[in-house]
Each structure stands twice: as C-alpha cells, then as structure tokens.
Chain A
C-alpha cells in the first residue's frame, strides 16, 4: 500500500515538472466525476484516485459528498479540503466538543444536508445551536445517545426549519417541552425516532402527531406512551412506519378501542409490547388492511397470537419470534393472508410440522423463513418447504435437531436460489453439506456446532459456492486446514469467517485465507495452533481487516502486533486476551489510528506502565475491557483523560482459565435443553 502511494507521489512530482506531458490533464472534470461515481464501492479506490495528480486530488475533493472521519481533531483540515460535503457521519468520533461542531458549522455552512452525531455524548445544545444557525439546509440530524442533551438541544433542532429526519434515541433528558418545540417548528418532519426517550409522554407524541402531518416514520419504542396518544397518531395521513417496541403502556384495550386504524400504515413493529395479545392482533389487522410488515416478537409467550384470525390481509412479512403459535394459528394466518414473503417463527413454541406445511403450501412465494429453535420440526417440514417454496432465499433452522440428512439433501436439491442458510447446532454431516453445495448462490452459511462435518463436505462448498461472503464454523471441530484452504481458494469474496474453537486449524489455513482480500472479520478464538506467522500473513494481505478475535491463541506474540501496526490500518476491534503479547506489542497496537474497541484480559506480558502508555497513545479508543487487577495501578488522572476523549472502561473480573471446554460437552448441553 505504502509502496503504491510513494509511486504515485513520484508520478505527481513528475507531472508538476512537466505539466503538458501528463496524459491525465486531458480529462475533463465531468469525465472524472463519472469515473468517481463508479468508484463508490471501495473507499481505498478513491484514495488512490486522488493521488494521481494535483487536479485529480482537487476533483476528488469536489466530488465527495459524504465523509466519515475517524478523528475529530483533524476535521478542520479535512473539511477545508472537502468543502462541498453534504453528509457528515461522525459516529466514529467518540469525543465531539461544542467547539468542533461550531467549526464544522462554519466550514460547511449551507452545503451540509445531513449530520450524524450518534457516536458522541460530549457536545451540548450549544453545538447544535451553532449548526442550526449556519447550516440552514440541514435535512437530517442524528443525536442519538446524547444522554446529556436537554430540551434546549431539542429546541435548537427545532430551529432547523428544513429538517426532515430527526433521530434522538436515548436522549433521556429531553421532555415533552423539547419535543413540542420540534413539533411546532419542523412542519416538514418525515422521520422521527424517539426510541428510549423516557422523558417523553403522550402529550409530546400527540403534539408531534397534530403538528407534523407529513410524518412518514415514527419510532416511539421504549417510551412511556399510553393509549392517550394513539388516536392522534392514527390521524397522521402519511404515516407508513410505526415502531412501538417495548411500549408497556400500550395494551389490548388501547388498540381494540381505537376507532379506526392507522390510515396509511405499512409497517408496524410492536415487539416486546408484553401487554398485547391475540385480540389486538386481529383488531390491528382488520383495521389496517394496507399493512405489509408486522412485528409481534416477544409479545405473548403464553397465549396463541393468531387464533381466531379472519379476513383478508395484505401482509408481506410477519415476525412472531418468541410467541406461542399453535398449528391452528398458523392455519388461520395461512388462510387470511394473500401472499406472505417473510415469516419469522424464531423461538416460537407450538410450531409443528403440520403448521409449517400449511403455511408453505399456501404461500409459495415465501422468500425468507426463520424457524430458529423450532425444535419439533422434522424432515416432513423440510419436504413441504422445499417442494413448494422454490424461491426461498433465506432459511434459518438453528437448533432444529430433529432434521436429518434427508432434509438437508432436499434443501440442496430444491432451493437453488438460497443465499442465506443457518444450520447451526443441527445434525448436519458431510453428505448433507455435499448436497447443500448445489445451492450455488449461497452468500452466508452458518454451520457452527455441527460436530459431524469434516473437510470432505467443506471442500465441496469451497468448490461450488463462489459467492460465499460469510462462513461460520464455530466449534465445528472436524474442520482442518485442508477444508479451510479449499474455501479460501474457491470463495475469494469471503468477508467474514469464524473458526473459533476449531482446534485443528493452524497457520496454514490463515496463509490461504490471506488470499481473500475482502476479509474484514476473522474469529479464531481458541485455535491454539495458530501463531504469529499465520496472523501476520493475514495482516499483510487483508488490508480491510477491521474485526479480529484471537483470544486464547497462546502462540500469537508481539510479532503479530507489529505487523498489525504496520499493515492493518483499518483495524477497529480486537480481542487479544490470553495471547503472549507484551508491552511492546500493546504499544505497537496502540499506534493503529482507528482502533476503537480493545479487549485485553490476562495478557501475561503486559505491565501496568505499558498499558498506560498504550492508552495514552491510542486516541481513537471508544471501549477498553481490562482486568480489574490493573485498575489500582493506573493513575486516575490518566483514566480521566482517556475517558474525556470519549473512551469507556470496562473492568472485568473473569478468572484465568486456560483449559478449553470440549465441544462435545457443549453440544450435549444444547441437547439437554431440548430434552427439558
């Protein structure tokens, strides 16, 4: 990477000395813009582009519309270069002061259209006021997680008269007064998220509904609202998406007595509303015939949610996770819906083969089916699913332990469009895996805790599923280097792989995986054979690596950390507990400029001083998990300083445990749950 940069610099220097000679100068700005439009997928491509020449650099700066900076302190320089930014995402800046917000406001001014401040909680209403004063074209603002923001901040948002989308989840100090200011002053509001704003009551929400008639999407999850504001919400003429997750004040009475339904509602999320039951469900569906998406997850674990449904509904997708769903309920659902595309029955009790068969026989267009932990379904269900739902794209059958190889064979034979498949904790074996390899469009395959699978099956997958992006082999202990290298060879688009506790994995696998240039997430927890050699190969070649878990890889030492420091400039999250890393490695790691989350427990070679130095050096940290025994050795001044940069400390007291739990025991436990 650095070599490339240096080469381009040399080109630029040459271009400067002999400007007329450069072939790039002939390209007009329009053409360069068109080229840049096509480069959106990978951020590094744009970086290379801007290094071609001075004019390319300037064109790239003018072309860029959205920016996600990592460090707020560099913002003034960055923004003076990119002065036509309209979308600013500051989620990766844990510390944003009012001063930095006001400098952003004065640098970008009216060109700013959208800003996301949800990663920081250190700014106040003054920062928002400066944005409101200068960025009068602002259409979207996200101040979620601003737990210290008060009504004044909400009033400042209210002053942005053009604002259309406001997200203020978890702003716990904002009350009805602040919401009232937004309601009155922002008539163009289309989206409002008040998730977890516990200070907001019926009064505020009702006022929003009265004043913001253009509202399309409203999220009042985890607030204290009751039935009093529902009539006002129901009157909103354009409301399409309403989310009321975890509103315990909403009960059957509120919904059943609601005179008419929500006028234009398409998606309704009522998950975790534990006070609603079957009566509300039929009332909702009958009053809102245009409803497409309904989420009733974890509403009623005891009573059947769907019994007694009648009518014709346009539902496309319904989520019933964690509810009790009887066969009769599924029958009435199947009969009353015209065409279901998505059905989620995750952790539903009462789901049987008969229920599944009825549903799939009626709804052949089913695209997504989640039957996680429906432990009573067998091959019969799979026969019904595979025979009628040829267009199935996503299937989740985690912990469906009664399904056998026969069922998996049917999946492979009849579901060619399948892209996502989750068979974690099932009885999958090599034969099944081999037939699954016929699903050549697979992008995500989760086959963790399948103790029977070996390299033989995995090789088939590697050979025939070139689009695979995500592979989960957690605790599938039959897998060795041979299978993984076949995957690495065949699935070059692989982005995420989890091989935790696959104890036979060694450096060889990692060397092969380093060919997958898009790899960004690697989990090899408990793979004790892996050493710094393998992980350094990954570091050197997978420059997108951002998430890494090498806990209990005892062989990994400072050498690996040094190579991370040198190559992995995108590393965000790392867990290196139990590794043989010393102060040298930790301080090398700290030099990675965008490292955000670090877990360092039981590092035998790390001293308190080394830790302190690393903490001081790594300015982008957001969360550090450390063993509680270090706490007394680190000066409180230092901790305060790091915390003031937006970093959170989590002091854990986990015992030192070298022995790995055997995976067979693990599987046995999951069977025991089933027996109970």
Chain B
C-alpha cells in the first residue's frame, strides 16, 4: 500500500530529508533529463519534479496526460462492449480486460490526487501562515515541519505525521474520492502481497532506458564532473571529492537505508525494442525486474552475438558470462546413450539407462575419441593460455579493482598529500572543483 501510494505520489523519498538539496537529481534537473539511468523518469515522476516548483504549465500537462489516459480507457470499455455484443467473448479475456481497466482507473485516480496534492500544500501553507504562496516546495520544507507535506499520505506511526494527516484530513479532504482511493489501495496492496512477482499492471513504475544507456558500461554518473561508475557506492565515494557536504555519513550511506525514508517505489523495466514482449507497448507485456535483467535481455535478444566459443566454434553469445558458463561444459557434457540420446549430466544418462531395457551408456568411439583427444590436447595447450588469461583477469580483479577503489577512496589521501605539497598552485586549479574551500581548509591542517 505504501508503495502504491508512493508510486502514484512520486515524491522521491529524499524529498523530505535535509540532504535533498545535495541530490544532484533535483538540483540539476537538466542533467537528469539527459541521464535517465540515474533516475528513470515516468510521466508521473515527471509531474513531480514539475510540481515541486508549482506552475500552471505543469498542472496543464498533467491534466492533459490524464485526459489521454481517460480516452484510452474509454476505448477499452468500448471494445469490451463491442465484444460483449458479438457474444464471442471469452470469460478470461473479459476478466483480464476488466482487471486492466480497474488498474488503469486506479492509477488515473492516484495521479489525479497527486496532481491535486502538489497543488494543495501551497494553498494550505498560504492558509496557515498567511504568507504569500511559496513557489518552491523544497525551500518550504525546513520551515514547514509542521506543515503538511504530501508524505502525510504515508501511514507513518510518528505522532507528527498523525497530526499532519489529521490536519490534512480536517482541513482538506473529507471527500469520498479520498476514501475510495484508500480502499482501492488496500486492495491493490493485498494483491501485491499475494504475488510480488506478477505485479498487476499499473501497480509499478515502468521505466524504459534507451539503447545507448543499456549498452553503456557505466550506469552512475557524477553530476558535477560527469565521470561514470558501475556502482552507486563508487559514485558516492567519488562525490566526497567534490566537497565536504558529500562527506556526511548520511550522504555516504546507502540511500535506501536512510532513517525515516519512504520505501522505494516498485520499479519494473521495459525493453526499448518495439515489438519485444518485454516492451511496454506489447499486448502481453512482461516487465523486467532489474536493471541487470534489462541489460542481459537486451544484449541477448537484440544485439549481435559477438562472443564465440573457442572450443566448438559454433555457439555464439552476446553476454560474456553466458560464454563462460558454456565453455565450462562445452564438449564435455556429451553423455551419450546407445539409442543416440545425449545428456548433459551423467546421472541423467544413468537414470535413462536404468529405465529402459537394452540401452547402454555409449563410450566415445575410437575415432571420435581420437578427435576428442586431439581437441582436448589442443584445448590443453590453448586452454592453458586461456586459463592464464583467466588468471590474469582474476589477478586484474584482485589487484586492479582495489585500484579503482583507490581512485575513489584513497586517492583522496594522496590528493591531500599532493595538495599540501603544491598548496600554492592549488588556487590556480580551484576551478576544477566547486568544493575547493574544503581543501583550502585541509591544506594548512596537514
């Protein structure tokens, strides 16, 4: 239910936290729009970032989106009526459509409320304080700890929030719509609880990354210098170099673990390839669960298979890990029965032989065996090289990945060192970083 609300509500969890302003996503919206991998945008979320700096344009676009959605639903209902008249309907299809309609309706209502919600607090603040409407919600938050925020929808046990909700309810919402939404939410929440894997459509955010983003080696980018990272943790460590404000324990902690934060909305991913079953436009859309799934799916299904197995020279793969898995078994898993059936595992072969009369485990024939031996010999010689390569890679992993960390961690120490030594020149290079006061302070300390 929480997730539900949040997905409709789309106020990011960090919205209320004091570090909010440090979050590059919100400080640099233009950057975000370029870099969706960091913070994927759905239409609803798009509303939010707009809604925070409340303006009529955003409201208009929201409303027009809702209009579109309602049109869509109209179409669906028309379709249903038509099929009903045709009498050739099938019950399961009907129920599926009905379910689709319900979820669509729900999400529309939620979006409507959220649009209204982004609108209402400003009214409320103005009502309570009698001040002029504060255009930026973010700036209003520190002062408005007593002020109701959209997060008041969250059933938070803290008394402050209860008060807030009460106030909200007293002052604004006594409408049937609100109650209806909550009822629906409960329902949906139960659904989610029953089957977390097959979430009903509309109960999650659908994110779709562009092809380039999927194939990019890095997924986390520094908003200041643009450097890319594979892991958010590495990015966070990197951010420390950009100033003291990034060094607080809260900034370094995992975002999800922030105390009092709201749970992350349920996200599902869509494949950008139109016509793919994993694409959100597909009739039987099956969303992908994680970013890794998206990457592997996209590479496997829509990319060239550029990795060829060196043993059999026939199997090709587009994901390196798949090749490695295959190479482990390639050529060795031919457990053959006299009937010609092959098995990947010896116990499967023996189960088969035990079951059928007259079937014998077949030995590799001399000729084949000779070949195999040759191949194996080759493999041994080549394999050594390959293994060496592997070891080398492992070594790289072992010896060089700390270097990467070094880059983000200990380089700072080095930096400090170098900076102390070259203090005089520091200022001349200060344009490199915005947080240079940090170093100015540190330099003399060392």
Give me the interface of A with B, judged by CB distance under 8 Å. Answer: 151-152, 155, 158, 176-178, 180-181, 184-185, 203-204, 206-207, 210-211
- B354 and A177 within 8 A (CB): no
**B342, chain A: closest CB distance, angstroms:** 14
Whose C-beta in chain B lies nearest to the C-beta of A232? B354
Whose C-beta in chain B lies nearest to the C-beta of A154? B363
Interface membership of B154, Cβ < 8 A: no
Question: CB < 8 Å: which of A152, A158, A184 contacts B353?
Answer: A184
Instruction: Give chain B residues whose Cβ lies under 8 Å from the Cβ of A184.
Output: 353, 358-361
With most chain B CB atoms within 10 A of its CB, the pick from A177, A181, A203, A210 is A177
- A206 and B360 within 8 A (CB): no
Instruction: Give chain B residues whose Cβ lies under 8 Å from the Cβ of A210.
Output: 354
Whose C-beta in chain B lies nearest to the C-beta of A204? B350
- B363 and A206 within 8 A (CB): no
Instruction: Give chain A residues whose Cβ lies under 8 Å from the Cβ of B359.
Output: 184
CA distance A155 to B360 in the complex (A): 10
CA distance A178 to B358 in the complex (A): 15
**B59, chain A: closest CB distance, angstroms:** 70
Interface membership of B347, Cβ < 8 A: yes
Chain B contributes a number of interface residues (CB within 8 A of A) equal to 10
- B363 and A203 within 8 A (CB): no
Asked whether A207 and B353 contact (CB < 8 A) given A176-B346, A184-B358, the answer is yes
- A203 and B360 within 8 A (CB): no
- B354 and A181 within 8 A (CB): no
Chain B 329-360, CB within 8 Å of chain A: the 1/0 string?
00000000000000000110010011000111
CA distance A176 to B354 in the complex (A): 13
- B358 and A180 within 8 A (CB): no
Instruction: Give chain A residues whose Cβ lies under 8 Å from the Cβ of B361.
Output: 176-177, 180-181, 184
Instruction: Give chain A residues whose Cβ lies under 8 Å from the Cβ of B358.
Output: 184
CA distance A210 to B361 in the complex (A): 14
CA distance A206 to B350 in the complex (A): 9
For window 353-393 of chain B, which residues contact chain A by CB distance below 8 Å?
Answer: 353-354, 358-361, 363
Whose C-beta in chain A lies nearest to the C-beta of B361? A180
Whose C-beta in chain A lies nearest to the C-beta of B366? A152
Across chains A and B, which 7 residue pairs bring their CB atoms closest together, nearest first?
Answer: A180-B361, A203-B350, A184-B360, A210-B354, A177-B361, A151-B363, A181-B360
**B368, chain A: closest CB distance, angstroms:** 13
Whose C-beta in chain A lies nearest to the C-beta of B356? A184
**B218, chain A: closest CB distance, angstroms:** 47
CA distance A414 to B125 in the complex (A): 117
Instruction: Give chain A residues whose Cβ lies under 8 Å from the Cβ of B354.
Output: 206-207, 210-211
- B360 and A176 within 8 A (CB): no
Whose C-beta in chain A lies nearest to the C-beta of B358? A184
With most chain B CB atoms within 10 A of its CB, the pick from A181, A184, A207 is A184
**A237, chain B: closest CB distance, angstroms:** 17
**B365, chain A: closest CB distance, angstroms:** 10
Q: A152-B363, A185-B360 are in contact. List 9 more A-B contacts (CB 8 A).
A: A176-B350, A176-B361, A180-B360, A181-B363, A184-B359, A203-B350, A204-B350, A207-B350, A211-B354
**B413, chain A: closest CB distance, angstroms:** 54
Whose C-beta in chain A lies nearest to the C-beta of B359? A184
CA distance A152 to B365 in the complex (A): 9
Whose C-beta in chain B lies nearest to the C-beta of A178? B363
Instruction: Give chain B residues whose Cβ lies under 8 Å from the Cβ of A178.
Output: 363
Whose C-beta in chain B lies nearest to the C-beta of A184? B360
Instruction: Give chain A residues whose Cβ lies under 8 Å from the Cβ of B350.
Output: 176, 180, 203-204, 206-207
Supply 28 A–B pairs (Cβ within 8 Å), ascending by A.
A151-B363, A155-B363, A158-B360, A176-B346, A176-B350, A176-B361, A177-B361, A177-B363, A178-B363, A180-B353, A180-B360, A180-B361, A181-B360, A181-B363, A184-B353, A184-B358, A184-B359, A185-B360, A203-B346, A203-B347, A203-B350, A204-B350, A206-B350, A206-B354, A207-B353, A207-B354, A210-B354, A211-B354
Whose C-beta in chain B lies nearest to the C-beta of A210? B354
**A224, chain B: closest CB distance, angstroms:** 14
**B376, chain A: closest CB distance, angstroms:** 15
**B286, chain A: closest CB distance, angstroms:** 39
**B175, chain A: closest CB distance, angstroms:** 67
CA distance A152 to B363 in the complex (A): 7
Instruction: Give chain A residues whose Cβ lies under 8 Å from the Cβ of B347.
Output: 203
For window 284-329 of chain B, which residues contact chain A by CB distance below 8 Å?
Answer: none
Instruction: Give chain B residues whose Cβ lies under 8 Å from the Cβ of A185.
Output: 360
Instruction: Give chain A residues whose Cβ lies under 8 Å from the Cβ of B360.
Output: 158, 180-181, 184-185
Instruction: Give chain A residues whose Cβ lies under 8 Å from the Cβ of B363.
Output: 151-152, 155, 177-178, 181
CA distance A372 to B305 in the complex (A): 73
**B347, chain A: closest CB distance, angstroms:** 6
**B352, chain A: closest CB distance, angstroms:** 11
Instruction: Give chain B residues whose Cβ lies under 8 Å from the Cβ of A204.
Output: 350
Instruction: Give chain B residues whose Cβ lies under 8 Å from the Cβ of A176.
Output: 346, 350, 361
Instruction: Give chain A residues whose Cβ lies under 8 Å from the Cβ of B346.
Output: 176, 203
Whose C-beta in chain B lies nearest to the C-beta of A177? B361
Instruction: Give chain B residues whose Cβ lies under 8 Å from the Cβ of A181.
Output: 360-361, 363
CA distance A437 to B256 in the complex (A): 95
**B367, chain A: closest CB distance, angstroms:** 13
Whose C-beta in chain B lies nearest to the C-beta of A180? B361
Whose C-beta in chain B lies nearest to the C-beta of A179? B361
Instruction: Give chain B residues whose Cβ lies under 8 Å from the Cβ of A152.
Output: 363
Whose C-beta in chain B lies nearest to the C-beta of A181? B360
Instruction: Give chain B residues whose Cβ lies under 8 Å from the Cβ of A211.
Output: 354
Instruction: Give chain B residues whose Cβ lies under 8 Å from the Cβ of A151.
Output: 363
**B219, chain A: closest CB distance, angstroms:** 46
Whose C-beta in chain A lies nearest to the C-beta of B338? A184
CA distance A185 to B360 in the complex (A): 8
CA distance A155 to B354 in the complex (A): 17
CA distance A204 to B350 in the complex (A): 8
CA distance A371 to B385 in the complex (A): 62
CA distance A177 to B364 in the complex (A): 10
**A9, chain B: closest CB distance, angstroms:** 52
CA distance A648 to B353 in the complex (A): 41
CA distance A158 to B353 in the complex (A): 15
With most chain A CB atoms within 10 A of its CB, the pick from B360, B361, B363 is B361
**A238, chain B: closest CB distance, angstroms:** 19
**A647, chain B: closest CB distance, angstroms:** 31
**A221, chain B: closest CB distance, angstroms:** 22
CA distance A177 to B359 in the complex (A): 12
**B106, chain A: closest CB distance, angstroms:** 54
Instruction: Give chain B residues whose Cβ lies under 8 Å from the Cβ of A203.
Output: 346-347, 350
CA distance A178 to B362 in the complex (A): 9
Instruction: Give chain B residues whose Cβ lies under 8 Å from the Cβ of A158.
Output: 360
CA distance A176 to B361 in the complex (A): 9
Instruction: Give chain B residues whose Cβ lies under 8 Å from the Cβ of A180.
Output: 350, 353, 360-361
**A186, chain B: closest CB distance, angstroms:** 11
CA distance A185 to B361 in the complex (A): 11
**A196, chain B: closest CB distance, angstroms:** 21
Whose C-beta in chain A lies nearest to the C-beta of B369? A152
CA distance A158 to B361 in the complex (A): 11
CA distance A210 to B359 in the complex (A): 13
**B35, chain A: closest CB distance, angstroms:** 55
